[in-house]
Amino acid sequence: MNQRLVYDSDAPLAKPQRAGKAKPASPGPSVNVPRDGVVRLLRDRKNRGGKTVTLVAGVIASPEVLSELATALKRLCGTGGTLRGEVIELHGDVRERIKPELERRGYTVKIAGG
């Protein structure tokens, strides 16, 4: 009868990580927009594995207000997202959906990019 090893209690549970292989955490997207009071809605797919995100850049506000705005926009679109630095990232191309909400809140909004 041929016996196979099914379980080995001496085997490590996870592969050891090699030093220097981990990607450094990015501080946020490198969005270079002028600080002229116009909120720009950008569509981006770079470094995201082909997935589209909407970037809300140019909002001049405190971190607390930005966090509240990000939460409200995510809830409005029913999608995920995050706040990285001064840029709000929302999953998917939701520029047309969030433009009226930002204008209702008193921001001047411009859809930028393709």
Evaluate whether residue 42 is within a structural domain: yes
Evaluate whether residue 77 is within a structural domain: yes
- pLDDT tens column, 83-96: 999 999 999 999 99
Evaluate whether residue 78 is within a structural domain: yes
Evaluate whether residue 14 is within a structural domain: no
Residue 106 CA: distances (Å) to CA of 2, 56, 59, 102:
75, 15, 11, 7
Query: In terms of pLDDT, which residue wins out, 112 or 20?
Result: 112
What is the average per-residue pLDDT within 8-22?
A: 61
Please state the pTM of the whole predicted model: 0.71
Residue 92 CA: distances (Å) to CA of 19, 24, 101:
34, 25, 17
